[in-house]
């Protein structure tokens, strides 16, 4: 039920981001979702892509520092309070969310949100038990 995310270290300088997107384009890799966290000095680009191994390989070849992390993708009902219901559940269970971002594509009628959670197994169990749909990696890469 886990999804693999890659993250890339970027200095804050002109052309930093396009350097990554060019490598991915040339590697014929499709970005499924992304988020950029930045400070005044550096940024961390987090990506869900259709081919994790190849993306890491081509980025490494171009000298980028690339991390791989497990995250979870959860379907969220597309209505007011949809996201809150998930976060409320996690809070009740005492589970801390490191960060989250929205998926570009929808899954049927639902939006998809990516969560980075340290207690990932506990979160998956809690969400599934309470009727939330945690999407498997294969499905997410192909959305």
Partner 1 sequence: MIYNEDFETLPREVLEALQLKRLKQVLDRVYHTVGFYHKKFEEAHVTPDDIQSLADLGRLPFTVKQDLRDNYPFGLFSVPMSNIVRLHASSGTTGKPTVVAYTKRDIETWAELMARSFAAAGLTKNDIIHNAYGYGLFTGGLGAHYGAEKLGASVIPMSGGSTKKQIMLLQDFGPTAICCTPSYLLFLSEVGEEMGVDMRSLRLRVGILGAEPWSERIRQEIEKRLDITALDIYGLSEIMGPGVAMECIEGRHGLHVFEDNFIVEVIDPATGEVLPYGEKGEIVFTTLTKEAFPLIRYRTRDISRLMPEVCKCGRTFVRMERVSGRSDDMLIIRGVNVFPSQIESVLMEIEGLEPHYQLIVDREGSLDTLEVRVEVSENIFSDEVRKLQNIEKRIVKDVKDIIGVSVKVKLVEPKSLQRFEGKAQRVIDKRNI
- CA 79 distance to own-chain centroid: 22
Count how many Cα atoms sit within 13 Å of the Cα of residue 105 in the half-sphere of its side chain.
15
Q: How far is the CB of 142 from partner 1 (least distance, A)?
A: 22
Distance CA 123, CA 120 (A): 5
Distance CA 88, CA 61 (A): 42
Burial class (CB in 10 A: 0-12, 13-18, 19+), 130: middle
Stretch that binds partner 1, among 9-17, 26-34, 82-90, 123-131 (CB under 8 A): 9-17
| C-beta closer to partner 1: residue 10 or 90 | 10
Cα-based angle 68, 72, 73 (whole degrees, multiple of 5): 120
Q: How far is the CB of 81 from partner 1 (least distance, A)?
A: 28
Residues 30-69 that bind partner 1 (CB under 8 A): 37-39, 41-42, 44, 46, 63-67, 69
Q: How far is the CB of 131 from partner 1 (least distance, A)?
A: 29
Residue 133 binding partner 1, by CB under 8 A: no
Report the interface residues with partner 1, using CB under 8 A.
Answer: 5, 7, 9-11, 37-39, 41-42, 44, 46, 63-67, 69, 98-99, 116
């Amino acid at each position: 039920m886990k999804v693999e995310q890659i993250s890339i270290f970027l200095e804050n300088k002109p052309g930093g981001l396009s350097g990554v997107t060019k490598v991915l384009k040339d590697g014929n890799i499709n970005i499924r979702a992304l988020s950029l966290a930045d400070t005044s000095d550096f940024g961390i680009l987090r990506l869900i892509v259709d081919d994790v191994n190849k993306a890491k390989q081509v980025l490494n070849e171009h000298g980028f520092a690339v991390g791989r992390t497990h995250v979870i993708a959860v379907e969220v009902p597309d209505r007011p309070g949809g996201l809150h219901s998930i976060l409320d559940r996690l809070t009740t269970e005492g589970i801390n969310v490191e960060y989250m971002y929205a998926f570009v594509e929808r899954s049927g009628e639902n939006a998809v949100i990516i969560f980075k959670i340290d207690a990932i197994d506990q979160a998956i169990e809690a969400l599934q038990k309470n009727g939330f749909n945690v999407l498997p990696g294969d499905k997410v890469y192909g959305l």
